[in-house]
Amino acid sequence: MLIVATLLSGLAAVFSLIRPPVLILSEFKGLSRALHLPDARISHERSSPYGLMQIFSSPALRYAPGLSLTYQERIPVRKSVFNNGEWFGAVVPRQEKEQETFLDYTTGALPYVLETRRRVLILDAGTGSLISQALSRGALQITAVEPHPAILSFLSSELAGETGDLFHHPSVSIRNLSSRTFLFLDKSQYDLILLPTIDAFGGASGLQAVREQYLLTREAFRQIWRKLTPRGVISITCWMDYPLRHPLKILATLAEVLEEEGIGNIRDHLAAVRGWGTVTILAKKTPLHTAETEKIRRFCRILLFDPALLPGLRTAERMRFNGLQDGRFFLYLDAILSPSRERFYADYAFNIRPATDNRPYFSQFLRWRSIPDLAGLYGARTFPFLEAGYLLVLLTLLQVVIIAVILIMLPLHFLRREGECRISVLLYFSGLGIGYMFVEIVLIQRFLLYFGNPIYAAAAVISCMLVCSGIGSLLSARWIRKRVHALTVFTLIILLILLHSLLLTPVLQSTIALPPAAKIIFSLLLIAPAALVMGMPFPLGIRLLTGTADQDIPWAWGINSCLSVVSAALATVVAVELGFVWVMVLAAVAYCITFLGGWTGLLRPEAFRRFS
């Protein structure tokens, strides 16, 4: 029977490779709505570890984010790029030097108003629109970092004609790796550092809430700040969302970083310009002087933008050309820059505290205590779409917990045996399932920054843990023959997990500049000891059940499998609410429960006598 099942599985795998299943596009994806435009079509597709990249075109498609109402030229048709069905960027042709482009009529042109930027760093460069703008504004050296290999391939080949061969320009240097990993590796300084546009027109559905965004953490902004030349600036553009979240969180992150860097009056280093749809926030290494603030005011007057933050700004200037649905926006900005920032964080309906490397969920804004008020304010049907991503994780967790309880408790009706407590079996194997998965998930996240690629990180962690845990399983019969040996193994597991939670991140950051081959070897050395001993308790438990409670062995496997599935969703919830350090701490607690649960049951002294 096993041979037949193996053959059928192999045939199914081969058939899926020869004729892959057709992916059905969700009606809630941006591409699904774009395909309703006249003569819409997808001209190219390419898969990568980051998803399915598709080139979309339609004669009705225009791209001009937050364009000034003073722009009089015709907005040309653009091709656009979608990744996994969601908007990724528009294909913008390269302009000649000093040739005006429609991007100069957006709030994103703010950093070029002050002075010419010779050395520019563009993080998560996407389709290259910011590269095109930087070249047209006189940048001499542009470093563009983009982790998606598929878009780099498109822009260097199929779309090279559309972009004016932008990526082969002698002033442009392309780096294909995670932007955050690049910040760890790069030692250069820049006159201007540009981050990608945050959120989307009209706001998003909150599906990014459980996505780790290491480029938008407080630690990342501190690295960016330290890469600026003495007159350098950071610039980041956000869509104006409602309710207000993204611009507030960006400003809060910048404010805290500037204070950590010893800046006294942070208002003197910040400027923000708002249009009808976007706001661009700028942070300058040195204080903005009077001539620069006048340049910003003139920029706003010409393009009908409003300054939202500026040294010496008057209240009347803030809403001269563009009205706001919620005029409290400016009160919120002032509160974030005031000494009472912590009080504002506590009182605001959404979580706008800066994300950190320990909790890198920039787009997670949900606060439990605010749910009733928000549901009443926005309606029970509308509110879930504000924070859909996190709510989906919570619903998934609830579903798998219910299913796991049913699958664990139902077999007890058929397993009738007197004189044996099954609580020990339940605690032992459930703790193993939770603890192992918690550790694996955190290690993947930590090594993601180390390798700069999610595929490399997942491959390194999962393969190393499976191989080393398998070796540990093989050795467990030889090494664990007495009760004291089991105590030693569990003590080692708990200590190694706690050491990883405290020391792994600084160790990885100090060795991140190693060559790729050396990184792989070093990763194996870091992961192998913990994985080796973590592979021992499960076969030990099965061995202790063999011959004394054989009918409980399938149940033990089922407990471990169910709790492994539950722990995947549970780890995400814990990471969002408490951070990755607490996920590791709870993994150690899970192994403690495993040990304590088995100490009076599976691991009782008489159970080991037959192994002596």
Do residues 493 and 533 lie in contact, with contact meaning Cβ atoms separated by under 8 Å? Answer: yes
**Which of the listed residues 310, 335, 367 is the one where a domain comes to its end?**
367
42: phi then psi, degrees, rounded to nearest 5: -105, 115
In this structure, the answer to whether residues 108 and 231 fall within a common structural domain is yes
User: Residue 307 domain-assigned?
Assistant: yes
DSSP element (H, E) containing 90: strand 86-90
Query: Residue 238's domain spans which residues?
Result: 92-367
Phi-psi region of 419 (alpha: psi -120 to 50; beta: other; left: phi over 0): left
20 preceded by cis ω (within 30°)?
no
**Which of the listed residues 367, 397, 432 is the one where a domain comes to its end?**
367
| Residue 185: both structure tokens together | 């590796």
> How far apart are alpha carbons 315 and 329 in whole angstroms?
12
In this structure, the answer to whether residues 132 and 216 fall within a common structural domain is yes
In this structure, the answer to whether residues 229 and 333 fall within a common structural domain is yes
Give the total residue count for the chain. 612
pLDDT tens digits along 96-154 = 555 677 888 999 999 999 988 999 999 999 888 899 889 888 899 999 999 988 888 88
User: Residue 37 domain-assigned?
Assistant: no
In this structure, the answer to whether residues 461 and 320 fall within a common structural domain is no
User: Residue 567 domain-assigned?
Assistant: yes
In this structure, the answer to whether residues 465 and 555 fall within a common structural domain is yes
User: Residue 171 domain-assigned?
Assistant: yes
Q: Identify the CA nearest to 92 among candidates 65, 120, 53, 123.
A: 65
Q: Identify the CA nearest to 374 among candidates 470, 262, 283, 242.
A: 242
In this structure, the answer to whether residues 337 and 457 fall within a common structural domain is no
The per-residue pLDDT for 119 is 94
Strand blocks (E) in 146-260: 172-175, 190-194, 228-239
The per-residue pLDDT for 419 is 41
Measured in whole angstroms, the distance separating CA 184 from the mean position of its chain's CA atoms is 17
Using DSSP's 3-state secondary structure scheme, residue 391 falls into helix
Low-confidence ranges of the chain (pLDDT < 70): 1-6, 9-10, 12-13, 15-17, 19-21, 94-99, 199-209, 374-388, 413-421, 607, 609-612
| Residue 172: both structure tokens together | 């442009």
In this structure, the answer to whether residues 311 and 184 fall within a common structural domain is yes
Using DSSP's 3-state secondary structure scheme, residue 575 falls into helix
| Residue 425: both structure tokens together | 């079996």
User: Residue 51 domain-assigned?
Assistant: no
User: Residue 580 domain-assigned?
Assistant: yes
What angle do the packed helices 454-479 and 423-451 form, to 10 degrees? Answer: 140
In this structure, the answer to whether residues 171 and 262 fall within a common structural domain is yes
Contacts with 231 (C-beta within 8 Å, 6 or more apart), sequence order: 115, 191, 284, 285, 286
CB atoms within 10 A of CB 422: 16
| Residue 157: both structure tokens together | 């080949």
> How far apart are alpha carbons 488 and 480 in whole angstroms?
9
Give me Rg for the CA atoms of the chain. 28
**Which of the listed residues 367, 398, 430 is the one where a domain comes to its end?**
367
The per-residue pLDDT for 418 is 47
| Residue 603: both structure tokens together | 């691991």
CATH number (domain holding residue 119): 3.40.50.150
DSSP string, 444-468: HHHHHHHHS-HHHHHHHHHHHHHHH
User: Residue 306 domain-assigned?
Assistant: yes
In this structure, the answer to whether residues 458 and 317 fall within a common structural domain is no
> How far apart are alpha carbons 172 and 139 in whole angstroms?
10
The per-residue pLDDT for 536 is 93
- Terminal Cα-to-Cα distance of the chain (whole angstroms): 37
Do residues 333 and 251 lie in contact, with contact meaning Cβ atoms separated by under 8 Å? Answer: yes
Domain count, the chain: 2
In this structure, the answer to whether residues 396 and 311 fall within a common structural domain is no
In this structure, the answer to whether residues 406 and 331 fall within a common structural domain is no
In this structure, the answer to whether residues 267 and 414 fall within a common structural domain is no
Name the CA dihedral angle for 521, 524, 529, 532, rounded to a multiple of 10 degrees.
-130
Is the model's pTM score more than 0.85? yes
User: Residue 64 domain-assigned?
Assistant: no
CATH number (domain holding residue 545): 1.20.1250
Measured in whole angstroms, the distance separating CA 241 from the mean position of its chain's CA atoms is 20
| Residue 589: both structure tokens together | 């607690």
Pairing status of strand 119-123 against strand 190-194: parallel
Place of tokens 């919570």: 394
